[in-house]
Amino acid sequence: MVQDQSSVEQATARPRVRMADIARELGISKAAVSYALNGLPGVAADTRQRVLDLARERGWHASSSARALSGARTGVVGLVLSRPTDVLTAETFFIRFLAGVESVLNRSGGSLLLKVIGDHPELEIATYERWWGERRIDGVLMVDERYRDARVDAVARLGVPAVLCGGPVKAAQLPCLWTDQAADAAIVVEHLARLGHRRVAHISGPLEFAHERGRRRGVRRAARDRGMEVTTVAADYTGPQAGEETARLMRAPEPPTAIVYGNDVMAVSGMGALAEAGCRVPEDVSVVSWDDSALTCVTRPTITALWRDTPAYGATAARLLLDLVDGKQPGPVQVAASALRERDSTAAVR
């Protein structure tokens, strides 16, 4: 006879263990159990350990709503992604970054509350306000720093612990994980200069993002210091627009002999436009991508790219936020320097 699935589950389900059950079994007050489970003072060390051991044995898990009412930590970190969905599906940066974040949260017993809101940055602050007001999170990770980013003042006003993957921001006491964009730009430009290139184009991502502005400034400065001409234009991250800008650049009377793209998707689209224009890579035009992913190795030719350890970047961001929640003040932390991985898409200028 086949039993109804719900009746089977009811018969085999383990009853939920309450703090009152733990208190009764150990012969102590419910308040003492609460103090022990929430890491609060007011209970002896041996009693705390007995409570924790029994709770683990009985499979006890705290109610998130009860934690919120008591003011205890939730063990949850919030992250809002304000990017168009087509960008999130094309880029691998965010998946690698999230993998690093989760590696730290898994070890600490924490969780990630992720919300994708599309290209609506104005909704991000409202999401922080709701999460913090409902006591659903202990803090937030902020990615994609924007020019004159309104989130910096918003998290300070709310009092929510936050770490900015960007910056550092002047006159703001906000822990940040920052990249030396000028140094990265110098690595790319020096590589092209060493190959004899003197006319370079830089097709960046949208200039609403602070890191793209920093990269553009860095490329211009590094090119100027080496006596090189540089043309800078912006495009979106999805690819087609980068292809259109590439075709336009190659129609110039003196087209560039090397092009630097904001990410791998843009670089692949650009190489397609170069092929349509009858330009060979790298014989006629060298190509460099700012972000290195698996995509750089499956194209032909393979793409020279600026590499950084993105999972480690996400892991460091998570550790900074957990330290901040614990009452530490990590301040600005510089990420490890990027490294150029030279592949087949760059060669000496003809």
In this prediction, residue 7 carries a pLDDT of 41
Rounded mean pLDDT, 210-236: 97
| Rounded percentage of the chain residues whose pLDDT exceeds 70 | 92
Task: Kindly report the pTM of this predicted structure.
Answer: 0.80
Average pLDDT over residues 28-57: 85
What whole-number distance in Å separates Cα of residue 80 and Cα of residue 88?
Answer: 12
199 beta partners = 229
| Tens digit of each residue's pLDDT (9 = 90 or more) over 72-105 | 688 999 999 998 887 777 778 999 999 999 999 9
Cα 292 to Cα 211, 289, 308: the distances in Å are 16, 7, 7
Kindly state the tokens that stand for 37: 């489970």
Predicted local distance difference test score (pLDDT) of residue 33? 86
pLDDT at 83: 86
pLDDT value for 3: 42
CA gap 236, 275 in Å, rounded: 21
Instruction: Compute φ and ψ for 333, nearest 5 degrees.
Output: -125, 125
User: What backbone torsions phi and psi does residue 163 show, to the nearest 5 degrees?
Assistant: -125, 130
pLDDT over threshold 50, residue 61: yes
Rg from Cα positions in the chain: 26
Q: Which residues pair with 234 in a beta bridge?
A: 204
SS3 148: coil
Question: What is the C-alpha separation between 145 and 169, in angstroms, rounded?
Answer: 10
By mean pLDDT, which of 88-92, 265-269, 276-280, 327-331 is the weakest? 88-92
Strands 258-261 and 286-289: parallel
> Distance between CA atoms of 262 and 207, rounded to whole angstroms?
11
pLDDT digits (tens, 9 = 90+) for 168-208: 888 778 999 999 999 999 999 999 999 999 999 999 999 99
The tens digit of pLDDT for each residue in 121-162 reads 889 999 999 998 888 899 999 999 999 999 999 999 999 999
Longest dimension (CA), the chain: 88
Place of tokens 């300070």: 156
Contact 70, 38 (CB under 8 A): yes
φ, ψ dihedrals at 167, nearest 5°: 75, -155
